[in-house]
Amino acid sequence: MSRTPLQKLVLFLVVLVVISPAFLFFLWMASLSLKPEIDNTAYPPVLIPSSLDWSNYSAMLNEHDFGRYFTNSLIVTGSAVALALLVGVPAAYGIARAKAHKLALVVMIARMTPALSFLIPLFLLFQYLGLMRSLWPQIITHLVVTVPVVIWIMTSFFETLPIELEEASRIDGANRWQVFRLIALPLARPGIMVALILAFIFSWNNFVFGIVLAGRTTRTLPVAVYNSLTYEQISWGPLSAAAILVTLPVLLLTIIAQKQIVQGMTSGAVK
Cis peptide before 44 (omega within 30 of 0): yes
How high is the pLDDT of residue 41? 72
Query: 196 with 261: CB under 8 angstroms?
Result: no
CA atoms of 220 and 69, how far apart (whole Å): 5
Please provide the distance, in angstroms rounded to a whole number, between the alpha carbons at the two ends of the chain.
Answer: 19
Question: Which stretches in the chain have pLDDT values below 70?
Answer: 1-3, 229-233, 259-271
Which pairs count as long-range contacts for 49-58, CB under 8 Å and 24+ apart, including other chains? 53/237, 55/237, 56/237, 56/238, 56/240, 56/241, 57/33, 57/241, 57/244, 57/245
How high is the pLDDT of residue 90? 92
How high is the pLDDT of residue 81? 95
CA atoms of 202 and 250, how far apart (whole Å): 10
CA atoms of 40 and 49, how far apart (whole Å): 10
How high is the pLDDT of residue 271? 40
Q: Is the pTM of this model over 0.95?
A: no
How high is the pLDDT of residue 241? 84
Domains of the chain: 64-266 (1.10.3720.10)
